[in-house]
Amino acid sequence: MLAGCGLQPMYAGGGSGAVARGLSDIQVAAIEGRAGWLVRNALVDQLGKGQAGTTPRYRLDVRLDDKLEGFALLSDDTVGRERRTLRARYQLVDLNSDEIVLDATAGSDAGIDVVSSDYATIAAEQAALENLAKDVANRIVTNVALRLRGDTSQ
pLDDT classification of 154: cutoffs 50, 70, 90:
very low
98-130 per-position pLDDT tens digit: 999 999 999 999 999 998 899 999 999 999 999
Please tell me which residue, 52 or 44, carries the higher pLDDT value: 44
Report pLDDT digits (tens) over 53-111: 578 999 999 999 999 998 877 777 778 889 999 999 999 999 999 999 999 999 999 99
Whole-number Å distance between alpha carbons of 105 and 136: 9
pLDDT recorded at residue 80: 85
Residue 15 pLDDT more than 70?
A: no
> pTM for the complete prediction?
0.83
Taking the C-alpha atoms of residue 84 and residue 109, their distance in angstroms, rounded to an integer, is 6
Question: What digits encode the pLDDT tens for the residues 136-146?
Answer: 999 999 999 99
Q: What is the CATH class of 18-152?
A: alpha beta
Q: What does the alpha-carbon distance between residue 149 and residue 153 come to, in Å, rounded to a whole number?
A: 6
Residue 145: which residues within 8 A CB-CB, separation 6 or more?
10, 11, 19, 22, 23
Q: What span, in angstroms and rounded, lies between the C-alpha atoms of 54 and 27?
A: 11
At 53 the pLDDT is 54
Rg (CA), the chain: 19
Distance separating alpha carbons of residues 67 and 99, to the nearest angstrom: 31
pLDDT higher than 80, residue 18: no
Q: 99-113 and 58-73 as β-strands: parallel, antiparallel, unpaired? A: unpaired
105, 101, 10: which is closest to 57 by C-alpha? 101
More confident residue, 12 or 105: 105
Contact (CB, 8 A) for 72 and 81: yes
Give the burial class of 18: count Cβ atoms within 10 A of its Cβ; 0-12 exposed, 13-18 middle, 19 or more buried: middle
